[in-house]
Amino acid sequence: MHCACDDAGRAKIQHSGNLGEIGENMEKVQVEKFKPGVRGTHWIHSALIIGFIITGYGIYTGNYIFGDQAQNLTLHMIMAFVILMDGLAHIYFMTVTGERHTIWMSWEDIRDIIKITKNFMGISKEYPEYETYDVKAKKFHGKYHPVIKLKYFGDLWFLGFAAISGFGMYYSSVFDFVNSLLSPAGLGINLIWLRWIHIMVFLYFFCILAIHVYLALIPVNRELLRSMIYGKEDVEVHK
């Protein structure tokens, strides 16, 4: 393990060699990682995404797991409004708990993602430090994995695409009116485009959910999963 500094002059520990062996030998401390509001909105978001996938699949294919087209569409739209409220609540809790600045993506995170990718492919043994706790400063060092940050902002963008395309297709009269105003300027949108955008959103969240669940359940991440349920986690001490 060697010490380096990032562009902002912050001390940064780089792991070299077998990360598992290092993790076993490092001192750990139990701390509260996620506040109740952050955890609650996360699980509501997860349940809603599963609901969107189930009802969306039924609406698109006609193969309903329950109910009929009208019931699935109604539930789909109700969940759309709920997830918007949940998103606002999540941003609020992330702000009041001071989490918002820790989830923000930086160029350093992008460089770390490249290092992580090279480590995963066996090209390099270097792995950036994250999710460690500075006991003296009483704060996390790299609280969120850079790939989680990337997913976080990807979710925000795709939720925006889902809202625009979904509401545009559902409230077709409003879409037609807006389209009539945009068309003279050459900015008209074909309704088919909205459908394809919505399908791409469906595929994105389906794949992300599958990957997210898999990574949450593998042994190395189970402590992190427990922290999202109970709030506390045994984390390595930042040196």
Considering the chain, what is the average pLDDT of its residues?
Answer: 81
177-231 pLDDT, tens digit each: 676 666 666 666 777 888 899 999 999 999 999 999 998 899 988 888 899 999 8
60-77 pLDDT, tens digit each: 898 899 889 999 999 999
CATH number at residue 97: 1.20.950.20
pLDDT band at 144 (very low <50, low <70, confident <90, very high): confident
The answer as to whether 86 is a domain residue is yes
The residue behind tokens 């990360």 is 19
How far apart are alpha carbons 156 and 154 in whole angstroms? 5
The answer as to whether 17 is a domain residue is no
Among 187, 195, 239, 210, residue whose Cα is nearest residue 26: 239
The answer as to whether 201 is a domain residue is yes
| Number of structural domains the chain divides into | 1
pLDDT of residue 235: 82
105-139 pLDDT, tens digit each: 888 888 888 988 888 888 888 888 888 888 887 88
The residue behind tokens 């569409």 is 73
The one-letter code for the residue type at 232 is: K
The answer as to whether 92 is a domain residue is yes
The answer as to whether 93 is a domain residue is yes
Among 4, 233, 8, 23, residue whose Cα is nearest residue 140: 233
The answer as to whether 179 is a domain residue is yes
The answer as to whether 108 is a domain residue is yes
Q: How many residues does the chain have?
A: 239
How far apart are alpha carbons 166 and 4 in whole angstroms? 47
Q: Which is it for strands 232-237 and 132-134: parallel, antiparallel or unpaired?
A: parallel
Q: To 10 degrees, what angle do helices 69-96 and 146-170 make?
A: 140
pTM for the whole structure: 0.76
Residue 116's domain comprises 33-122+137-231
pLDDT of residue 187: 63
pLDDT of residue 5: 35
Among 158, 167, 204, 159, residue whose Cα is nearest residue 189: 167
146-190 pLDDT, tens digit each: 888 889 889 989 999 998 888 888 887 777 767 666 666 666 677
Residue 139 has φ and ψ, to the nearest 5°, of -155, 160
Q: Phi-psi category of 116—alpha, beta or left, where left has phi over 0 and alpha has psi -120 to 50?
A: alpha
Q: Average pLDDT, stretch 8-36?
A: 57
The answer on pLDDT for 12 being more than 50 is: no
Q: CA torsion sign, 183 to 185 to 190 to 195?
A: negative
The answer as to whether 14 is a domain residue is no
